[in-house]
Structure 1
Amino acid sequence: MAEYRAHFDALVQFLNGGNLRTAGFRLDLPAGDLSSDEIARLFVRHLGLALVSEVELSNLEVVEEPHRGSRGVATRPSADPAARGRLVDLSHTITEGLVTYPGLPAPVITPHLTREASAANYAPGTRFAIDALTLVGNTGTYLDSPYHRYADGTDLAGLSLETLVDLPTEVFHVSDAAGRGLPAPVFYDRDLAGRAVLIHTGWDRHFGTPAYADQAPFLTEAGVRYLIDQGVVLVGIDSLNIDDTGPEAHGTRPAHSLLLAAGIHVVEHLTGLGSLPPSGARFTAVPPKIRAFGTFPVRAFALI
C-alpha cells in the first residue's frame, strides 16, 4: 500500500501575536489526495499548536514516500458516518395539527416574521423566517421529568446530561405479547443497572390514528418496581402511555408515580424500536433546559 508525505514551507500566524516559519518541512499523510487545507490542519495538529489564526503553505509537493512517524497521522479521517456506527431516529415528526394523546391540543405553527417581510431588514437576497410554535409538553416523542408528577420534583432544567445522553441500552422486543400489561419477569434475563430500558411493543404502527388510544400496551406496577430495584436510569416505550389509561385503571398512574419519584426519566411515544438490537445500542433523548416545566418533546435516537 502506497504511503505519501508532503514537502512544504509554512507560515503560521497566532491569534495572540507572533508567528512561526518553517522551510522544507516533511509531514506524513494518510492519503495522497489531500487538499492544502487538510494538510495545513494536519501540520497544526502534528506540532500541537494552539491559538492559530492563519496557516499559509507554499512550495507544497506531495510525493509517494515511506512514512517516518509523524505524530497524529495514522489514517485519513473518515467522512462516512457509518464509521462511528449507525444512528437510528426514534422520534415521531411533529407537524401542525398532530394528535399525540387524544384530548390534548395539537401543535399550532404561526409566522412571527415571514421571509417576505424580512426582506426589508436585510441586504438584497437575504431573508429569514421566524415562527412561533404553540404546543403542550406532551407532544410527539417526549420526556417526563419528576416535576411532571411532583411539584417538588426535578424540572427539565435540573436534569443531568449524564442521565440523558449516550446511555447503554437494553431493548425488550415484546410486540408479540399476548396481554397488554408487561410484567416483571419480562426483564429478568439481563443486567439493567445504570441502563436505559426501551420497550418495543410495536404499538407505534397505530400512531396518529384512533386505534393508537385503544387497548394500548403498558408497564405493570410489578414491572415498574422491578426496574427501579434494578437501578435503571430511564424507561421508554413506543405506546400511548407507560401506564394503563383504560377505565379499569381508575386514573391510577403507578408507572409515572414510582419511576419519577425514583428520579428515573420516562420517554413515551417512541418509534422505530424494532430497528434496535436487544443489547449494545446507546440511547439519547435531551429536552430543552426549561425551568419549572416537567415534560417536553425530544429528538430521541440510538447509536448502534
Structure 2
Amino acid sequence: MTEYRAHFDARVEFANGGGLSAEGFRIDLPTPDVTEADVARLFVRHLGLALVSRVSISNLVIAEEQHRGTRGIESPPASRGRLVDLSHTIRAGLVTYPGLPAPVITPHLTREQSIEKYAPGTQFAMDVITMIGNTGTYLDSPFHRFDGGNDLADLDLATLVDQPAEVFHLQDVSERGIPAEVFLDRDLAGKAVLLHTGWSSLFGTPGYATGAPFLTAEGARALAEAGVTLVGIDSLNIDDTEAGGERPAHTTLLGSGIHVVEHLTNLAALPPSGSTVTAVPPKIEGFGTFPVRVFAHLP
C-alpha cells in the first residue's frame, strides 16, 4: 500500500506566550489529500503541544514516502498474517565480512552412496558445512564479547521470539553514525529495535565493506538505558569498523544482555511499529555467534 509524508515549514504561537519554528519538518500522512490545516493539526498532535493559539504551515510538499512512525498515524500492515524473511541466504563461498572465511559445503554421504545403505528407493544426502559463526545474518550473544557472558545455549527464548519490533527507517539520513536522538520519540522498553539503513542492497559486493552505517556509542547507551531486548541492523557491523579496534556498541549492548543481530535485509517491508520479530540461534554451549533465520510477523 502506498504511503505518504508531508514536508513543510511551520510556525507555532502559544496562547500563554512564546512560539516555535520548524524548517523542513516531515510527518506521516493518513492520505495524500490533506490541507495545510490538516497538516497543522497532525504537527501539533505529533509534538504533543498544548495551549496553541495559531499554526502557520508553509512550503508544503506531499511526497510518496514510507511512514517513519509519526504519533497518531497508524501504518497499515502490508497484509494480514504475513511473514517477512529478514535473513540473507547462506551458500558455499559467501563472503559476509571481508577477511573472514567463506562457508565450505562438502558431502559426507551422497545420494548415490546411500543406495548401498538403505532399502531400494530410499536415499539420503548428508553434508558437512564448515563456517565461522559470523556468516550471513547472525546473532551475537554476550559470550561473543565477554569471557563468562551468556553463550548461545544460555539465551532466554522469551527475549528471542515474537519481540515487539520498532523499526527505524534511516536509509536517507546524511550521517553514517546513528545518534541517540533518533530514538527519543518512542517507548522502546522490552522491544526489539531494527535499524533500516538500506545498506543490505550492497551485501555480497565490494561496496558493502566500506562506508557502512553504524550505531554510535551514544545511541547504544540510549537503547540500553531504554531496556530493549534486541538491536538489529542491515549493515556491515553495528559498530564503526573504520574507526579502530574499539567496539562501543557491542560492548554496551552485549554488556547489558541485549542481543545484537547484524546483516539483516528486507527491513523496508516492515512498518515503523506493529510487527514482531523472531531470531533464534542453535543451542550451542561455549559459542557466542551463529547464523539465525530472522523473520518478522505482520499481524
- The verdict on a shared fold, with TM-score over 0.5 as the criterion, is yes
Matches for 1:2-151 after TM superposition, within 5 Å: 85-151=81-147
Residues 227 and 83 (structure 1), Cα distance of their counterparts in 2 relative to 1, 3 Å cut: closer
- Deviation above 2 Å: which 4+ runs of structure 1? none
Distance across 1 between alignment mates of 2:80 and 2:178? 34
Secondary structure (helix, strand or coil) at the match of 2:116 reads: helix
Aligned partner of 2:258 among 253, 259, 264:
264
Output the aligned Cα RMSD. Answer: 1.1
1:276 — aligned with what?
A: 270
Secondary structure (helix, strand or coil) at the match of 1:121 reads: coil
CA displacement at 1:123 relative to structure 2: 1.2
After superposition, what is the alpha-carbon deviation per residue over 1:134-161, rounded to whole angstroms, capped at 9, x for unaligned? 0000000000000000011000000000
Secondary structure (helix, strand or coil) at the match of 1:120 reads: coil
Structure 2 unpaired stretches of 5+: 1-77
After superposition, what is the alpha-carbon deviation per residue over 1:82-130, rounded to whole angstroms, capped at 9, x for unaligned? 9960000000000000000000000000000000000111111110000
Aligned partner of 2:153 among 154, 157, 160:
157
Distance across 2 between alignment mates of 1:271 and 1:240? 11
Secondary structure (helix, strand or coil) at the match of 1:291 reads: coil
The count of aligned residue pairs is 221
Distance across 2 between alignment mates of 1:216 and 1:177? 12
Structure 1 unpaired stretches of 5+: 1-81
Matches for 1:187-226 after TM superposition, within 5 Å: 187-226=183-222
TM-score by length of structure 1 reads: 0.72
Distance across 2 between alignment mates of 1:147 and 1:261? 9
After superposition, what is the alpha-carbon deviation per residue over 1:184-224, rounded to whole angstroms, capped at 9, x for unaligned? 01111100000000000000000000000110000000100
Aligned partner of 1:291 among 282, 285, 292:
285
Aligned partner of 1:227 among 219, 223, 234:
223
Secondary structure (helix, strand or coil) at the match of 2:254 reads: helix
Distance across 1 between alignment mates of 2:80 and 2:268? 21
Q: Indicate the percent of aligned positions where both proteins have the same amino acid.
A: 71
1:166 — aligned with what?
A: 162
TM-score by length of structure 2 reads: 0.73
2:35 — aligned with what?
A: none
